[in-house]
Structure 1
Amino acid sequence: MTQLNFTLDVEKIKGEVMQSSLNDVVKSSVVLILNEYMEMERDQYMNDSSHDRNPYRHDYRNGYYERNMILNVGKVKLKVPRTRSGEFSTKVFEKYKRCDQAFLLSMLEMVVNGVSTRKVTKVVEQLCGEKISKSMVSDLTKKLDPIVKEWAERPLNTQYYRYIFVDAMYIKVREYHRVVSKAVYIALGVNAKDKREIIGFQVSDAESKTNWSEFFDTLTARGLQSPKLVISDAHQGLKVAISEKFLGTSWQRCTVHFLRNILQSMPKKNTKEARTHLKEVFKASNSKISRALKDEFIEKYGGEKKFEKVVETLENGYEDAVQFYAEPEETYRHIRTTNVLERINSEVRRREAVIRIFPNKKSAYRLIGAVLMEYDKNIDPGGRKYIYRVN
C-alpha cells in the first residue's frame, strides 16, 4: 500500500493552542491532520502538485466541499477535496467510519443501561455541540432488533439444563392510547456444566396458564429437554403449564414465597418462636430433619385455633416445597428459591424505571432483551460456576 507523507502547519496549531480550550485544540488538530491527509490523497490521485503544468493531466482539481464527521472527541467539520470528473474519493471517511459506529454504539449502550432518551440527547449535545432528535435515538435502538432476536431464538439443544427457574414481572406499556400492564416471563437454566444461562423471555398480555404454556412451547421448539426440576412460585396457571409441558419433571415451590404465604396467616404478636421454627424446617441439612421439624411444629401448634390456617397451609404445600432434597446436598441452597431470578428482575426493573412506560410492546421486548443479553454475558464468566459439586 502506498504511504502518504505530509507535513503539518505547526504555527497554525500553536495559534489554536493559544486561543482555544483543550477540547477545541484536539478538534482543530484533528481537522488539520485529516484535511492535509485528504489533500495529499488528491495530489497522489492527480500525480502532480497544485499549479503544476502538465499537458497530460487526466483530471482537474475542483475545490472543496464541507462534511461533518463524528469522532470520539466530538463533531468536526472537514474540507473534502474534489475533482472535476468526480472520480476522486478520499479514504478518510471509510477508515474512520468505525468511529461513527463506536459513537452510535455508545449512544445505544447508554439507552440499554437505563439512561433516558432525553439525557442521551443532552450528552450528545455536549459532545458534538449540536442537538439530535429523540426520534434519532429511538430509531437507533431499533438496531437492537436483529441482535436480540438472534440471541432470544438461539438453539437450546446443545446443552442439557438440569434446573430451570421461571418467574414473571410486570411492566407498563402504552397500547391504543391507554396504559396497560404486561407480563414479562423469564426463564433461567442451569446447564450440565453448572453454569447459568437466561434461556428465554417473553412479553405477554397477562400471566395465565395459556401464556405460560405458549412460552414453554417456544423453549421446547428451540430444543429444550424436560429438566429435572423447575423452580417457581405457586401461580396456579404456571403450575398446570409445568405439569403439562415438562413430563417427568418435578416442581419445586420457592420456599421464600411459600414461607411468606404461611406467615401471612400467623398472628404477629407472640409468635417469634413459631416463625423461627418454620424457617428452620426449610433450612434443615436433609429431608429427614426437615420432616421431623415440620411434624414437631404441627404437634406443638396444631391444637391452637390461631394457628389453624398456618398448619393447614404448611401441610398442603410442604411436599412441593421440599423437592430440592432429592438433589445433591451441594445444590440445596441454590435451587430451593427463585432468589436468583429476583436479582435479574431487579436489574431489569432498574433500567425499566427510567422509561416508566414503554411506547409499545415491541420496544419493551427490545430493551428488556438487550438488558437480559448483557446480564447473561456476565452471569458466570470464565471458570466460575453457579453450583460446585462434590466429586
Structure 2
Amino acid sequence: MRDLLGDQVLDLLLERSKDGKGGLRLTGEGSMLGELVKAVLERALEAELSSHLGYGKHDPAGNGTGNSRNGKIGKTVQTGVGPVRLTVPRDRAGTFEPILVPKRAGRISGGLDDMIISLYAHGMSVRDIQHHLRQIYEVELSHEAISNITDAVLEEVRAWQARPLEAVYPVVFLDAIVVKVRDNHSVQAKPAYLAIGIDADGEKHVLGIWLAKTPLDHATAGESARFWSAVMTDLKNRGVCDILIACTDGLNGFEEAIHAAFPYTTVQTCVVHMIRNALRPVARRDRAAVAAELKKIYTAPSEQAAFDALADFTASTWGERYPQAARVFETAWDRFTPFFAFTPGVRRLLYTTNGIESLNYQLRKVTKARGHFPGNDAVVKLLWLAIINIEDKRARERATHKEQTGKIKNSPSTARLIEGQRTIGWREALIELDIAYPGRIR
C-alpha cells in the first residue's frame, strides 16, 4: 500500500487526520481511513457509471447516446471506519443503480455487519452496541438497524436447528441455563435446554437448543412431559433412531417423554447434581465430612455395595442429622445406579454432565449482562452465536500456537469446548457400550 500511494500522499493523509491536540484519528469522519474509504468508493462509483453508460468521462463516444452524466449528489453512509461523506454520480436518464453503494442505503457493510454480530455474540445488548459504535466509530445506527443485522443470522440458526443428525447417539447429555424472556406480555425466567450428543466416533456435538413456550393459562414455562415430548419428536424427525444413555439432572417429565420416543434408552441421573442436592441442607461446617461419607456410595464397586454404603450412611450420625441427604439417593435410586454396570473409566464419562455444564458456564457469561430477551428466537440466536464464537476463538488460539511452535496445543484453554471434541477414552467406552447394548451401535 505504501508503494502504491507514495510517501507524499501518505504524509498528506497523516496531516489531515490529526485532531486539534495533534493526535491521530484513524477512524471517524475526516480521518485517514475515512478519507481512503471515500476515495476508493467514489472512484468505484465513477467506474460503475462508466460501465453503465458504455463510455468514460469526457469520452466523445458518448455524444448522441441519449444518456450522459448529470452531476453528483451528496450522501453520508455508515462504514466500519465511521461515517463517510460521498459524492455519488448521476445520469441524466436516472437509470443508474449503483451496486457498491445502492440507492437509499445508509450503510455499507465492509465488515460493519460482522463487527455488530461479533459484539452481539459477546453478550452486548443492542443499546450497548449503539453506544459502542457511536463512541468509537462515530457511527449512528438505529435500534431497528442493529436488530435487523443480527436477525440476518436467524436463517442460519433455523437451518442449524433443523439439520439432520446421526441415527444413533451412544450418550446424550441434557442441561439448562435460565434466561429471562418476554412471553405472554410478561418477563419470566425460562430454562433454555441444550443437548450434547456423543456420536459413534466419540465426537461431541450440540444437537439443539430448546425453550418451552408458555401456555396462555400458565404463568411460567418450565419442564413438563409435553415439552420433552416435543423435544424428542424433534430429534426423531431429524433422523435420531436410538439413544443408548441419556444423562440428565433429574428433569421433570423427561423420563416419561424419552421412553415414549426411545423406549430402550437408559436414563442416568447426574451424580454431581445429586451430591449438590444432598449437601444443600447440610451446614457449611459439616459439608466436607458428609461429602466424604456420600462418596462411598457413588464410588462403590457395585450397585449392591452402593446400596450397603447408603444403608450405612442412613444409620450413621450424619444420616440421622441430615436424613434429607440420604433421601436424595433413595428417591432417584433407579436412575442413579445404571452407571455401576461399567468400569470406572466409562463411569467417569456417564456419571456427570460436567461437559455440558462447562459450555453453560461460558454461555452464562454472555447472557448475564442482558436484562431480558424479547422472545425465544432472540435467546436461541444469541446462544448459537456464542457457541460459534467460543469455538472460533479456541480454533484461532490453536492455529496461532501451531504457527508459532509447529506443535498442536490441546490444553484446556485452547481445546474445543464441545463441538467436534474427541471424548477421552472413547475406544474402551465403545467396546463396553457395544457389549452392554449389543447390535444397537452401528
With the shorter chain as reference, the TM-score category is 0.7 to 0.9
Residues 1:357 and 2:372 are matched in the alignment: yes
Give the Å deviation of 1:334.
2.3
Residues 1:65 and 2:73 are matched in the alignment: yes
Report what 2:358 is aligned to: 343
Report what 1:125 is aligned to: 134
Residues 1:209 and 2:216 are matched in the alignment: no
CA RMSD of superposed structures (Å): 3.5
Mapped partners of 1:14, 1:57: distance in 2: 43
When residues 176 and 230 of structure 1 are mapped into structure 2, their CA distance, relative to the original with a 3 A threshold, is closer
Report what 1:25 is aligned to: 32
Residues 1:367 and 2:382 are matched in the alignment: yes
When residues 257 and 159 of structure 1 are mapped into structure 2, their CA distance, relative to the original with a 3 A threshold, is same
Residues 1:75 and 2:83 are matched in the alignment: yes
Q: Secondary structure of the residue that 1:80 maps to in structure 2? A: strand
Amino acid aligned to 1:143: A
Report what 1:167 is aligned to: 175
2:268 counterpart (239, 252, 264): 252
Amino acid aligned to 1:75: P
Checking the alignment, whether the CA contact within 8 Å between 2:279 and 2:287 is kept in structure 1 is no
Amino acid aligned to 2:243: P
Amino acid aligned to 1:139: N
Identical aligned residues as a percent: 23
Residues 1:387 and 2:424 are matched in the alignment: yes
Give the Å deviation of 1:57.
6.3
Mapped partners of 1:241, 1:55: distance in 2: 77
1:278 counterpart (291, 294, 308): 294
Amino acid aligned to 2:312: E
Q: Secondary structure of the residue that 1:332 maps to in structure 2? A: helix
1:111 counterpart (108, 111, 120): 120
Q: Which runs of 5+ in 2 are unaligned?
A: 19-23, 213-220, 393-415, 429-442
Residues 1:218 and 2:234 are matched in the alignment: yes
Give the Å deviation of 1:367.
2.5
Checking the alignment, whether the CA contact within 8 Å between 2:206 and 2:418 is kept in structure 1 is no
Q: Which runs of 5+ in 1 are unaligned?
A: 1-6
Mapped partners of 2:281, 2:236: distance in 1: 38
Give the Å deviation of 1:93.
4.2
Q: Secondary structure of the residue that 2:275 maps to in structure 1? A: helix
When residues 328 and 308 of structure 1 are mapped into structure 2, their CA distance, relative to the original with a 3 A threshold, is closer
Report what 1:243 is aligned to: 259
Checking the alignment, whether the CA contact within 8 Å between 2:164 and 2:238 is kept in structure 1 is yes
Residues 1:137 and 2:174 are matched in the alignment: no
Give the Å deviation of 1:315.
4.2
Deviation readout 1:10-41 (Å, 9 max, x if unpaired): 97765443242242123223323443454466
Amino acid aligned to 2:250: A
Rg larger in 1 or in 2?
1
Checking the alignment, whether the CA contact within 8 Å between 1:302 and 1:311 is kept in structure 2 is no
Mapped partners of 1:163, 1:365: distance in 2: 23
Residues 1:298 and 2:311 are matched in the alignment: yes
When residues 210 and 30 of structure 1 are mapped into structure 2, their CA distance, relative to the original with a 3 A threshold, is closer
Checking the alignment, whether the CA contact within 8 Å between 1:38 and 1:80 is kept in structure 2 is yes
When residues 326 and 171 of structure 1 are mapped into structure 2, their CA distance, relative to the original with a 3 A threshold, is same
Mapped partners of 1:166, 1:220: distance in 2: 16
Question: TM-score normalized by structure 1?
Answer: 0.81
Deviation readout 1:151-175 (Å, 9 max, x if unpaired): 011111x352110111233322223
Mapped partners of 1:243, 1:13: distance in 2: 70
Amino acid aligned to 1:362: D
Greater displacement, 261-270 / 251-260: 261-270
Give the Å deviation of 1:189.
0.7
Mapped partners of 1:59, 1:345: distance in 2: 62
Q: Secondary structure of the residue that 2:58 maps to in structure 1? A: coil
When residues 29 and 228 of structure 1 are mapped into structure 2, their CA distance, relative to the original with a 3 A threshold, is closer
1:200 counterpart (175, 194, 208): 208
Mapped partners of 1:336, 1:50: distance in 2: 78
Deviation readout 1:50-100 (Å, 9 max, x if unpaired): 386986666433222233444433332222333324456666548xx9961
Mapped partners of 2:330, 2:122: distance in 1: 45
Mapped partners of 1:266, 1:126: distance in 2: 50
Q: Secondary structure of the residue that 1:207 maps to in structure 2? A: coil
